[in-house]
């Protein structure tokens, strides 16, 4: 099967030094993870530390602030006489892993960005009748996030707005119906993305948890996470229906209820994406079993192979030699043109891992647990506090991943924790989903704000603030059930 797309643009903006560093860093980390060669691990850590120097032209205040925090924490670790060497190595090791992970997941987005199949399926999902639209956008964003992570939000936002603003001149205000329709669809997209963090092996949460907590049952974590994501879909759908029930009845009585035409189901495009997903997860399982690594590490090695094959298929009807030539041109464009554009995201995630690790080293976990009598707490309350803590600190600018690394590192050092590590990892992952949904400083909210034109505070506090509180209550009930069975 072929998938015709436009040819790579000529004269794309290159950054060969940064692109070369990124490629070598990822290769070093993958060889270290699969071969255990320590010198390759040191190479990956060194290149991660050099990344801000090579990407300095693109850095903004956020990255400068985070790098300043990293420097301050190094001084604090030294001042409080913690073992500076081991802590720095652990922090850099986690930073290198997360950097490689996000860059390899960005590769999947580059495979999708020129895929006509992705555009056709996404457009079909957003043109469903009102009764099915929340389901299709939530599930569509959720599943697309497995393939393209944050790219799912940047893909769906313009498609949603293209539908709600069709026929309007640029900058024209939306009528009352279109405003609500756009709000509901963008909220569904953010919610769908938020809960993929609970289970998907391509999510950064699942990447970081096994590196923090020993004794995690990966299969149980993914299975329970998927079940919890399904519960959150039901909660989200029900809240949406109840919130807008009165408006729907009024519009129906007035004969103003929109009736969008979805068009025929893009069967061939759906098969293309199903094939990509099948190859990705098939290779992931094979690599994780053969290399005796986690599923997340398996998907890291699978990503470049899948992207190479995907781009090869995208070259349409070009002959064998022409197809290979076009594929290599596109891969060069990605390596030296597109991947350097992810430098800020890579530095952000590296700093999140480093900050979380060093901050945790400054906390006297055992003493704090004894002071709070944590061993006497009910298990469900411990899980609920872990989740809500990520959301609380997200309100003051701490990213969910920084909090996930911090809490995971602290939990790993806690004696007599009244919950097992798999459920603790699930609670922290749920906290990252809750924070993505309800904190304007999360990467998901920032990405959707950038793609849609709405402020991150509108998308989170205004549109999903009440829903976040409902989710907290539901999580308490879920944790009671999980710790009881």
Domain boundaries, the chain: 16-256+264-358
Give the model's pLDDT for residue 157.
85
Give backbone dihedrals phi and psi of 155, rounded to 5 degrees, phi first. -80, -50
Rounded to an integer, the average pLDDT of 45-69 is: 90
Task: Name the residue with higher pLDDT: 384 or 349.
Answer: 384
pLDDT for 441 = 79
- How many CB atoms are located within 10 Å of the residue 139 CB? 14
Instruction: Give the global pTM.
Output: 0.80
Task: Say if residue 2's pLDDT is above 60.
Answer: no
Those residues with Cβ within 8 angstroms of residue 39's Cβ, 6 or more apart along the chain or in another chain = none
d(CA 341, CA 199): 27
**Residue 259 pLDDT more than 70?**
no
Confidence of residue 6 (pLDDT cuts 50, 70, 90): very low
**Which residue is listed with tokens 């992810």?**
342
Quick one: what percent of the chain has pLDDT higher than 90? Answer: 41
Nearest to 65 by CA among 342, 444, 346, 347: 347
The reported pLDDT for the residue numbered 31 is: 95
Asked which of 19-33, 120-134, 429-443 is least confident by mean pLDDT, the reply is: 120-134
284 pLDDT higher than 50 = yes
pLDDT given for residue 9 in this prediction: 39
Q: What percent of the chain has pLDDT over 70?
A: 93
Instruction: Say how far apart CA 366 and CA 372 lie, in whole Å.
Output: 10
Percent of the chain that is helix, strand, coil (3-state, to 5): 80, 0, 20
Within the chain, what is the greatest distance between any pair of CA atoms? 72
At 218, is the pLDDT very low, low, confident or very high (cuts 50, 70, 90)? confident
Between 164 and 99, where is the model more confident?
99
Residue 415 · residue 366 · CB < 8 Å: yes
Q: Which of 115-124, 143-152, 247-256, 472-481 comes out lowest in average pLDDT?
A: 247-256
In sequence order, what DSSP letters do the residues of 65-120 get, joined into one string? HHHHHHHHHHHHHHHTT--HHHHHHHHHHHHHHHHHHHHHHHHHHHHHHT-HHHHH
Is residue 283 predicted with pLDDT exceeding 60?
A: yes
Q: Is the pLDDT of residue 374 over 70?
A: yes
The structure tokens 């490689």 sit at: 100
Distances (CA, A) of 64 to 56, 59, 69, 349, 351: 9, 7, 9, 13, 10
The residue behind tokens 């797309």 is 5
Q: Is the pLDDT of residue 1 over 70?
A: no
Using an 8 Å Cβ cutoff, are 59 and 314 in contact? no
Which residues have CB under 8 Å from 22's CB, separation 6+? 51, 103, 335, 339, 340, 342, 343, 346
Position 7 pLDDT exceeds 60: no
């Amino acid at each position: 099967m072929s998938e015709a797309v436009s040819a790579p643009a000529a004269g794309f903006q290159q950054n060969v030094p940064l692109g070369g560093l990124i490629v070598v860093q990822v290769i070093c980390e993958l060889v270290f993870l699969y071969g255990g060669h320590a010198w390759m691990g040191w190479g990956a850590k060194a290149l991660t530390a050099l990344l801000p120097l090579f990407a300095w032209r693109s850095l903004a205040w956020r990255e400068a602030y985070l790098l300043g925090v990293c420097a301050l924490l190094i001084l604090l670790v030294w001042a409080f006489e913690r073992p500076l060497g081991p802590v720095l190595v652990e922090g850099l090791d986690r930073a290198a892993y997360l950097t490689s992970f996000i860059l390899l997941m960005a590769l999947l987005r580059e495979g999708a960005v020129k895929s006509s199949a992705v555009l056709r399926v996404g457009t079909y999902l957003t043109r469903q009748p009102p009764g099915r639209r929340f389901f299709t956008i939530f599930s569509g964003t959720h599943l697309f996030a497995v393939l393209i992570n944050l790219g799912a939000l940047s893909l769906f936002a313009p498609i949603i707005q293209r539908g709600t603003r069709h026929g309007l001149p640029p900058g024209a205000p939306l009528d009352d119906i279109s405003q609500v329709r756009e709000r509901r669809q963008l909220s569904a997209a953010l919610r769908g993305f938020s809960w993929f963090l609970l289970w998907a092996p391509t999510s950064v949460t699942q990447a970081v948890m096994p590196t923090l907590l020993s004794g995690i049952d990966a299969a149980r974590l993914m299975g329970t996470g998927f079940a919890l994501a399904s519960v959150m879909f039901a909660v989200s759908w029900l809240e949406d229906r109840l919130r807008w029930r009165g408006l729907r009845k009024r519009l129906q009585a007035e004969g103003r209820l929109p009736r969008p035409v979805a068009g025929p189901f893009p069967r061939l495009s759906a098969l293309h994406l199903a094939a990509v997903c099948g190859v990705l997860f098939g290779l992931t399982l094979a690599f994780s079993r053969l290399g005796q690594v986690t599923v997340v590490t398996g998907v890291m090695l699978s990503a470049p192979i899948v992207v190479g094959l995907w781009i090869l298929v995208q070259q349409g009807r070009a002959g064998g030699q022409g197809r290979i030539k076009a594929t290599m041109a596109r891969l060069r464009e990605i390596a030296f043109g597109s991947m350097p554009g992810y430098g800020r995201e890579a530095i952000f995630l590296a700093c999140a891992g480093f900050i979380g690790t060093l901050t945790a080293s400054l906390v006297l976990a055992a003493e704090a647990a004894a002071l709070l009598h944590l061993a006497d707490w009910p298990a469900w309350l411990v899980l609920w506090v872990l989740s809500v803590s990520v959301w609380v600190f997200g309100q003051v600018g701490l990213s969910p991943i920084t909090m996930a690394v911090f809490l995971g590192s602290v939990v790993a050092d806690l004696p007599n924790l009244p919950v097992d590590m798999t459920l603790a990892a699930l609670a922290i992952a749920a906290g990252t989903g809750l924070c993505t949904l309800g904190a304007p400083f999360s990467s998901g909210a920032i990405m959707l704000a950038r793609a849609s034109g709405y402020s991150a505070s509108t998308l989170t506090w205004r549109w999903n603030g009440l829903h976040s509180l409902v989710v907290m209550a539901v999580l308490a009930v879920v944790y009671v059930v999980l710790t009881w069975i």
